[in-house]
Every structure is written in structure tokens, then in C-alpha cells.
């Protein structure tokens, strides 16, 4: 599933092409891509046609395109395999294409914005924008203190300038859950996901099943530092791609998979101490860690 770095790469790629553009036409090829939209496919297309896009914004794993002179936005979640692709106007349909937007930009001319999704778990919708409780910008890509109602329950991510380190430490200090479970709780901190949780905990030398509330304050600070370092590095390398399902807006894969130290390296030597990396079941996923560097205390 695309996580914060992958979704941010998509947002940044969309920004110069869609901000200031006008949506000339909307073609819904598969209304399963509108499961989050409260209306019909015809309503979705009619409400967007002729509207201008004022920004490209992200919080956690959610993207949204605010509509100019409106208190609404088109909000999207990529699910497991969703892609937002920029193509020349009139380009042939993409494999697994679900929705196409024909847009006209004042400088770039006519373009096609395509939402493709192999597994159909991703979705787009038109949603109302609500004021943020703290008055800070809703997400990366806009200074407006608003967020779609579907995203309002999602916490800020660690790279957000308005992220509250003290509040995060307080939540961990009170929690009886495993630290990895807290890192994956989108109402506490957003955008980390399974891959980057494993990588951050490996870097911080913390076992994923360690009770969050048992961590010393300095250890919590170290975990947060490593989370940010891992996310920053993944962003610089275009995200993590294990297959063709995650690509940027131009269809190119990220290469952070080559920098992984724990995730997906079962049985391979730990880059730090040489002990084989262990994989264990974790809810419906897996955790990867070094049993020597990340001893459970």
C-alpha cells in the first residue's frame, strides 16, 4: 500500500500540472472508484466539470484537490494499487483506468489526469472542507487551515510543521499497546505504514512489540527522529516500489527498496550486526526486525 513518501511523491508531481488548471471533462469508466463519494458518477462528473483546481494537498496517505472559490475538494485515497497519472491529452486508455479528467492548464495546455487502480480499493470523492481544530494548514501543499471531512480524523504526519512532538510523546507514554501498533494508528500519527515502521524501529534499535508506555523519553525521541529520517530518505529516493503498482505521475518506480535494512529482508544479515533478520506475524501483516539489535526488554 502506498505510504506517506509514495503519496507525497504523487502530490508533488501533480502540483505543477493541476494547480491553476480547469477540469474540462470527467469520464468515469468504473464507478467502483467512487465508493467514498456520496452521490452518483453523473453527479461527480457534473460537479467537477468546469471547475478550477487551486492546490494539491496531502495529509498522511490522503490527497485532495481543493476547488477554486469553493468549500469543497476532490479527495482521494490510493488504496493498495491506485495511481494518479499525467498523460498527454487524448492518450490511449491506461490499463485498469477507472476515471479520466481532461484538464486545461494556462501554461501547459491540455492534459489528461488518469486515476488507475488494479485492485479497486482506492477511491475518489467530492467532499466538504472543514476548519482544522488547531488553525494550522490542513496538509502539505496549501496554507489554508481546512481539511476534507473524510480526512479530519487523520492525525498529522511527522513531517508536518504543525505536528506536536509533545502530544505524541504523551500518547506513547500512556499506551499499553506495542510501539509498532501505535506508529500505525492513523489517529495518533499518520502516513508511516508497515514498511517505514519496521525501518524506523530498526534504526532506533527498538523491538516492534515493546510496550509503548515502557519506553524512556529519550527512546521515544529517538524513534521519532528515526521515523523522520527514514521518511525523508524515502522521499528523496522516490518512495518504495516492489512491483509496478506504485509509480509516480509519470509511471516511474521509486527505488527506496534498495535502501531497506529490515523490511522484506527475512533471513538476510542485519546491516548493523550480521544477525539474520526475523519475520513474525503482525495482525494481517508482518514485522521484520533484528533479534540482536532490537531485543525485547
Active-site option among 22, 222, 228, 285 = 285
233 part of the active site? no
Residue 228, marked binder = no
Active-site option among 59, 61, 100, 180 = 61
Question: Which three-class secondary structure string do you get for the chain?
Answer: CCCHHHHHHHHHHHHHHHCCCEEEEEEECCHHHHCCCCCCHHHHHHHHCCCEECCCEEECCEEEEEECCCCEEEEEECCCCEEEEEEECCCCCCCCEEEEEEEEECCCEEEEEEEEECCCCCEEEEEEEEECCCCCCCCECCCCCEEEHHHCCCCCCCCCCCCCHHHHHHHHHHCCCEHHHHHCCCCCCCCCHHHHHHHHHHHHCCCCCCEHHHCCHHHHHHHHHHHHHHHHHHHHCCCCCCCCCCCCCCCCCCCHHHHCCCCCCECCECCCCCCEEEEEEECCEEEEECCCCCCCC
Residue 105, marked binder = no
97 part of the active site? no
276 part of the active site? no
Active-site option among 2, 5, 137, 148 = 2
285 part of the active site? yes
Catalytic positions are: 2-3, 61, 285
The binding site comprises 96, 119
The binding site for DNA comprises 96, 119
Amino acid at each position: 500500500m502506498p505510504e506517506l513518501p509514495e503519496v507525497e511523491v504523487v502530490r508533488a508531481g501533480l502540483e505543477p500540472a493541476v494547480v491553476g488548471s480547469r477540469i474540462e471533462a470527467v469520464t468515469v469508466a468504473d464507478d467502483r472508484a467512487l465508493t467514498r463519494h456520496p452521490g452518483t458518477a453523473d453527479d461527480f462528473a457534473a460537479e467537477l466539470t468546469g471547475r478550477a483546481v487551486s492546490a494539491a494537498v496531502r495529509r498522511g496517505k490522503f490527497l485532495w484537490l481543493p476547488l477554486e472559490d469553493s468549500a469543497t475538494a476532490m479527495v482521494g485515497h490510493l488504496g493498495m494499487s491506485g495511481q494518479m497519472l499525467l498523460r498527454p491529452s487524448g492518450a490511449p486508455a491506461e490499463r485498469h483506468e477507472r476515471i479520466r479528467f481532461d484538464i486545461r492548464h494556462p501554461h501547459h495546455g491540455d492534459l489528461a489526469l488518469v486515476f488507475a487502480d488494479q485492485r479497486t480499493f482506492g477511491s475518489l470523492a467530492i467532499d466538504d472542507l472543514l476548519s482544522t481544530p488547531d488553525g494550522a494548514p490542513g496538509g502539505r501543499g496549501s496554507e489554508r487551515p481546512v481539511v476534507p471531512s473524510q480526512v479530519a480524523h487523520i492525525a498529522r504526519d511527522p513531517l508536518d510543521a504543525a505536528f506536536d512532538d509533545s502530544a505524541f510523546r504523551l500518547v506513547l507514554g500512556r499506551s499499553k499497546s506495542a510501539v509498532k501498533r501505535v506508529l500505525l494508528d492513523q489517529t495518533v500519527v499518520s502516513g508511516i505504514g508497515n514498511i517505514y515502521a519496521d525501518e524506523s524501529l530498526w534504526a532506533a534499535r527498538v523491538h516492534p512489540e515493546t510496550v509503548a508506555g515502557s519506553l524512556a523519553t529519550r527512546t521515544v525521541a529517538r524513534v521519532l527522529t528515526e521515523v523522520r529520517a527514514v521518511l525523508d530518505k524515502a522521499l528523496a529516493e522516490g518512495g518504495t516500489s516492489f512491483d509496478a503498482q506504485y509509480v509516480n505521475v509519470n509511471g516511474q518506480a521509486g527505488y527506496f527498496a534498495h535502501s531497506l535494512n529490515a523490511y522484506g529482508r527475512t533471513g538476510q544479515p542485519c546491516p548493523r550486526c550480521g544477525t539474520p533478520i526475523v519475520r513474525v506475524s503482525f495482525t494481517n501483516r508482518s514485522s521484520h526486525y533484528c533479534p540482536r539489535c532490537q531485543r525485547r526488554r
